[in-house]
Chains A and B, each alone.
Chain A
């Protein structure tokens, strides 16, 4: 973006740009702010603005999570399942994505462009279609994959995000560092462990956190693939919203927003301090 000129900064165009930007931001943030505000209501309903502010719904959520009846509402169970799915998805994406990224960055081989295209595909592929396809696949197999059918689905859409970060970090590594390590007696696996992994750790770490958030928030694929035993938080929220609509749901949503923002801040910090180190 170029700097506004002296006349531009005070001119009508600049005012217009500023106005539109503010409006878009407001449009984006307003619903989220509303959720946040309502979650602090002292009332029983979703009335806006709230009659008074209180923490009673957070207290309620706390009881739902750790109270003696935590098993009934299934909030705790859903949260734990979602965390588990997100962690496993990150792990799968790291294990599959890091070596693949390295191969794509360093080597030329037959089918390289095909792989590159395939990896980008889930980003533009409609999740609903992917969900239906996977559901058909899972039903046809007649097996119970439990948590892993959602992990697999999330990994498919998470992999491009991990690999994009990972490949950017690896492209920043001077190949001569790897060659220097070789001449100093390091075999290929040792070069990877000693040079590539540490220098790409910022990209890998930020990619893994992104995938974690993506999986934790994901709804569409989860909706097709959840079961009675595997009931992710996004599905729990959806069902609550369809049935009870108590302000507690808004408190849970607000907590999710906080977790998301925190994760984004961590990614920013990681990229800022290590992503550019190579």
Chain B
């Protein structure tokens, strides 16, 4: 680490996030010229807090690699990294090959075709929530909607959905310190450190994915798992481990993130009724409101890259093999990128937020799907003339990585 560099205020202590994102600390990083060095465990990382540099790192994958080390703050041992390697922690050309195999299912046109399905699921959940009057918003809507939608896209039969919802909930739990499953749950015999989230539920999900693939080879259908197994036939093979990890990623990646966006969105709209009124009155489009919900929520707080060579960023020298962490949570409140970044304003017309990443090859695969889900929920609430009122405080996930909310009580009334 070259000198002199300023040491960053601590933003990795999970406990900080029980009170929300430590925005004042990120503001200090944005104000400080150059990059700050953040100590972490027995090493540290360069903290990238400004919008412009988050963008630069994200779009320069040759220098800022996703395949070296890990995309989380800590390093994985080499065998664990190999066992888990999928899309997120791969560089070109492997990344391009895998990403294209799956991308065709997620283009704007193909996602649009799911609008009615998302609408029906949303209506069912909102009917029940309205009948109850006061609900835990996470339980009632934000958690069940995204998992049901992704299972439908993947082609998981309805009768298996509950099993997968359960597995997915165990995975969410696996992102925190407490795990309620014994290591041999679901017949797991793999060492936990080789499994995503160190969770035996990952083993069960792998097994399920393989059984489903076998089924789709025999009976192809119009869904994403069929696309993946069909690609096999065309010679563009995914390895067994790539398929397992991709299936796992698809079930998980869109789940907790979209849940978080729907929850922070509902909280913000309840706390700023004048903003919701603009949506009700049709003064702003659902698309505009959705982008602001995404910026405000920033469900994924950061991602990590590792330098492949010595380089320079914001005038700071960075050595080869050093960790660089891009903080979307900070970029999305950058004063130089947004007018009044701390104002929740559903009418923004220029909203270059980085909720889905700063661009570059790893830009969120599910961005259009997540947007569709949020737009459909806001649209359904608008058409019903629903208003939200908070009746309790949110219980937050203590995590420096996901901006999660475990529960928040809401009253729904017309």
Do A and B make up one complex? Answer: no
User: A residues near B, CB below 8 A?
Assistant: none
